[in-house]
Amino acid sequence: MGIDPARLEMLSALNRKVLWLSSWTIHHANHIRSNTDGLKVGGHQASSASLANIMSALYFSVLRPQDRVAVKPHASPVFHAIQYLFGHQTRDKLENFRGYKGAQSYPSRTKDTDDVDFSTGSVGLGVAQTLFSSLVQDYVKAHGWMKDRPEGRMIALVGDAEMDEGNIFEALLEGWKQSLRNTWWVVDYNRQSLDAVVREGLWAKFESMFRNFGWDVVIVKYGKLMQAAFAEPGGEALRRWIDNCPNQMYAALCFQGGAAFRKHLQDDIGDQGQVSQLIDRRSDEELLALMSNLGGHDMASMIEAFEAIDHDRPVCFIAYTIKGVGLPMQGHKDNHAGLMTVAQMEKWRAAQNIRPGHEWDRFEGLPQDPAKLEAFLAAAPFNREGRRRLTAPEIEVPRELTFKQSSQMSTQQGFGLILNELARGNTELASRIVTTSPDVTVSTNLGAWVNRRGLFAKAENHDLFRQEKIPSAYTWEFSPKGQHIELGIAEMNLFIMLSALGLSHQINGERLLPVGTLYDPFIERGLDALNYACYQDARFMVAATPSGITLAPEGGAHQSIATPLIGIAQDGLASFEPAFVDELSVIMRWGFQHMQREGGEGGSVYLRLSTRTIEQPQRPMSPTLHQEITEGAYWLRKPGPNCDIVIAYTGAVAPEAIEAVGFIGESHRDVGLLAITSADRLHAGWTTARKLRRDRRGVQYLSHIENLLAPLSRDCGIVTVIDGHPATLGWLGSVRGNRVEALGVEHFGQTGTIDDLYRHHGMDANAIIDAAESLTVGAPIRHHRKMAV
Ligand SMILES: Cc1ncc(C[n+]2csc(CCOP(=O)(O)OP(=O)(O)O)c2C)c(N)n1
Ligand SMILES: [Mg+2]
């Protein structure tokens, strides 16, 4: 097999251009742009050079429009340069690299304009995202929605030190369980991390590990120059020397240059006739070119390696590279933040035949005919369909999500009942919902949904217990039509899976409505993946249950305190903590719509639920109540005209708040009870309103919480209570200047009954009454008397 020389010439020329443009982008940001404020764009130069050839091979030749790529964060200048050559990136944005609204430091789906497939930046996550994206493609295909669209390959360009991230290993195991296909990971094996040179022999560990998980492994170590030299007399001795040279030494010699290589080779090998002649035949420059011709920097070798793959098994390519190749910093262990000096850049510019003032010209300095280069770019398969971001129509959400009512329920139970009703029906919504859970499907009440809709697998697999007629509440039947993806316990995988499912409308052109479940405390375990899922604008619903100390006997270790604050702070995630199931049904309905709204109007949804069974209100759901629930709060008991105390509660502590209000009402008739379904939505509405008023002076727009609190006098006190950190609701006092006593949980770990723990943490009815007394004047309020034990 050989690659056509004319094609090789075009590809090599374009690769030269990519290396130049990416380096110039970085240089421009550091030395030319006037508004950089001393900003040094480190971390990109050497990393980018390392991957330039591999990315040129992919984008200019190997990739097809249906393929998707996660680019190693620091190779973003290479990505932007390639898109610039294709005409998808502007000079303006490149000149403004890392600047305000310029090309992003790390490829970003939401902030870049040049069609990034997966946002990267937090190393490891983009890599795993490709794996889950491939599983989602399989899901879409198995459900008959691929139509005539060909299957794409999901490709990650991975740094060798990036492989230290544990989430990659978690994903590998999951991929093996789910019969992963169509996934390529290309490891940029430059044997350097940020700080230093990596351990010897890492490739062997990677190789055996990937093979273990059912991947093919292709090692691309030597370029064509090297291969030719190995075939010369004495070549074998040279190969042995290269194979035995420690990483640090090889890197140092690459930095020092041809003369240093010559000296070392002579010292190590001695005078051995043929191999000495092989070395002597080459000038210092030629010797350096030979020794830095590792596989990853050799266009023909990379193209051959990629094009040799004629199957859909997952493949890991280990491509040997030199960090900073071709640049004065190549191989230096400190080069991560390395930058070229103005003098170095000038020298390089001259060598590249680039005239001052023509640095951004697309084909400047290339001897090839520009028309031919242009034609080659236009014919690149990747470019055939222009922008590749797809869309999908909205899925209609029924006016009401019904559920089987009962007088006592928990929100977790209600969640299961609502999904069960959806599963029973045949709405389009139900057909597009995909549930997924990291081994807590049954314990988060997804069981009924799964019984009806089945588990997803590419091959049918029947429930043996059922076949053997052993009674069981759950049917565990796998089929290609199943709508639940069962994951192993790793919560990072859950969020990356939700991220991949939640981008299906843009990646596969088919909308899925993913619903994931996990225990609330383990949000923190997967938090970075959740954050990235939101950052990519993936759309999903996550039900986290049980939560807080209310899970009482489940164990102190599982209590979550910080999650309501995460719910407020997480961008792109609307968070809710309903107390009652009718609220939950309204919120889920709203959520399925919110997940489908375009751009900043929509987002993902977090439901913080509970296993506590509480009495349910029997009430009609008026349109006003409906709206107030989704905006974050409503008066469960309206404050009277002389209201001097308000109890504001969220979630499972509703019974304590209601009980306390009963007692307080005996002496403070006008007491109000505010039900807060979403501290997040309330807070966001409040900050938005303030901003609107500031930006457009004279606009009198009031937010929902401002309207709700408007009737209260400034002297009215507010007691807030939540099974979570008190700061979640503590800000309510700032809305109109009311004093606040914020109750909640600040320490965790104690087990006991709900009563024990609410008393322990000062959030039972008596504690609420005490807090109310501290904010009001007048006679003491009667307290709830507990039976003596
Ligand atoms: C989760 C996370 N931790 C730390 C970093 C900071 N960081 C960025 S690149 C890098 C080293 C990457 O080395 P490697 O993956 O080998 O890529 P190379 O620089 O060699 O191209 C580190 C530690 C990060 N971006 N994300
Ligand atoms: Mg590296």
198 CA: nearest ligand 1 atom: 16
Share of the chain above pLDDT 90, in %: 87
Q: Give the per-residue pLDDT at 789.
A: 40
Is the pLDDT assigned to residue 693 strictly greater than 60?
yes
Structure tokens at 664: 């307080």
What's 428-481 look like in SS3?
A: HHHHHEEEEEECCCHHHCCHHHHHHHCEECCCCECCHHHHCCCCCCCCCCEECC
Beta-carbon contacts of 213 under 8 Å, excluding residues fewer than 6 positions away, are 172, 173, 175, 176
> Is the peptide bond preceding residue 546 cis, with omega within 30 degrees of 0?
yes
The candidate with the shortest Cα–Cα distance to 128, out of 462, 533, 413, is 533
**What is the pairing mode between strands 183-189 and 315-320?**
parallel
> How confident is residue 783, by pLDDT bands cut at 50, 70 and 90?
confident
- Determine which residue's CA is closest to atom 7 belonging to ligand 1: 194
> Minimum-distance ligand to the CA of 336?
1
C-beta atoms surrounding 692 within 10 Å: 14
Centre of ligand 2 to C-alpha 316, Å, is 16
Site to probe by mutation for ligand 1, drawn from 162, 203, 329 as the one with most ligand atoms within 8 Å of Cβ, is: 162
- Determine which residue's CA is closest to atom 17 belonging to ligand 1: 159
* Cα separation, 248 vs 334, whole angstroms: 12
- How far lies 663's CA from each of 329, 658, 703, 755, 765, in Å? 75, 9, 31, 18, 9
C-beta atoms surrounding 637 within 10 Å: 18
- Determine which residue's CA is closest to atom 19 belonging to ligand 1: 47
| Helix, strand or coil, per DSSP, at residue 177 | helix
528 CA: nearest ligand 1 atom: 1
Site to probe by mutation for ligand 1, drawn from 78, 104, 123 as the one with most ligand atoms within 8 Å of Cβ, is: 123
pTM beyond 0.85: yes
Average pLDDT, the chain: 95
Is the pLDDT assigned to residue 199 strictly greater than 90?
no
Q: Give the per-residue pLDDT at 32.
A: 85
Give the range among 78-92, 380-394, 490-504 with minimum mean pLDDT.
380-394
- Cβ burial, residue 670 (10 Å; 0-12/13-18/19+): middle
> What does the pLDDT look like over 642-665, one tens digit per residue?
999 999 999 999 999 999 999 999
Is the pLDDT assigned to residue 788 strictly greater than 50?
no
Site to probe by mutation for ligand 1, drawn from 44, 54, 72, 74 as the one with most ligand atoms within 8 Å of Cβ, is: 74
* Cα separation, 421 vs 314, whole angstroms: 39
Centre of ligand 2 to C-alpha 185, Å, is 14
Centre of ligand 1 to C-alpha 359, Å, is 29
What single string gives the DSSP state of each residue in 204-238?
HHHHHHHHHTT-EEEEE-B-HHHHHHHHSTTHHHH
Is the pLDDT assigned to residue 39 strictly greater than 80?
no
Q: Which residues pair with 408 in a beta bridge?
A: 615
> What does the pLDDT look like over 262-287, one tens digit per residue?
999 999 987 778 999 999 999 999 99
The candidate with the shortest Cα–Cα distance to 52, out of 34, 79, 88, 27, is 79
> Minimum-distance ligand to the CA of 46?
1
Contact 584, 415 (CB under 8 A): yes
Centre of ligand 1 to C-alpha 158, Å, is 10
Contact 643, 671 (CB under 8 A): yes
Centre of ligand 2 to C-alpha 324, Å, is 10
Is the pLDDT assigned to residue 784 strictly greater than 90?
no
**What is the pairing mode between strands 154-159 and 183-189?**
parallel
193 CA: nearest ligand 1 atom: 13
* Cα separation, 62 vs 554, whole angstroms: 53
Q: At what angle do helices 527-535 and 491-501 cross, to 10 degrees?
A: 10
Average pLDDT over residues 126-149: 97
> What does the pLDDT look like over 207-223, one tens digit per residue?
999 999 999 999 999 99
Centre of ligand 2 to C-alpha 187, Å, is 9
> What does the pLDDT look like over 305-348, one tens digit per residue?
999 999 999 999 999 999 999 999 999 988 888 888 999 999 99
- Pocket, ligand 1, Cβ cutoff 6 A: 47, 50, 73-74, 122-123, 159-162, 188, 190, 192-194, 323, 336
Q: Give the per-residue pLDDT at 37.
A: 56
How many H helices and E strands in the chain? 33, 20
> What does the pLDDT look like over 501-514, one tens digit per residue?
999 999 999 999 99
Centre of ligand 2 to C-alpha 423, Å, is 48
Centre of ligand 1 to C-alpha 220, Å, is 22
Q: Residue 402 has what DSSP assignment?
A: -
Contact 342, 31 (CB under 8 A): yes
Centre of ligand 2 to C-alpha 330, Å, is 12
> What does the pLDDT look like over 579-596, one tens digit per residue?
999 999 999 999 999 999
* Cα separation, 103 vs 112, whole angstroms: 6
> What does the pLDDT look like over 483-496, one tens digit per residue?
999 999 999 999 99
Centre of ligand 1 to C-alpha 427, Å, is 46
- Determine which residue's CA is closest to atom 22 belonging to ligand 1: 194
Average pLDDT over residues 64-75: 97
Site to probe by mutation for ligand 1, drawn from 194, 254, 332, 333 as the one with most ligand atoms within 8 Å of Cβ, is: 194
158 CA: nearest ligand 1 atom: 15
Structure tokens at 385: 């369909």
50 CA: nearest ligand 1 atom: 21
Q: Give the per-residue pLDDT at 271.
A: 75
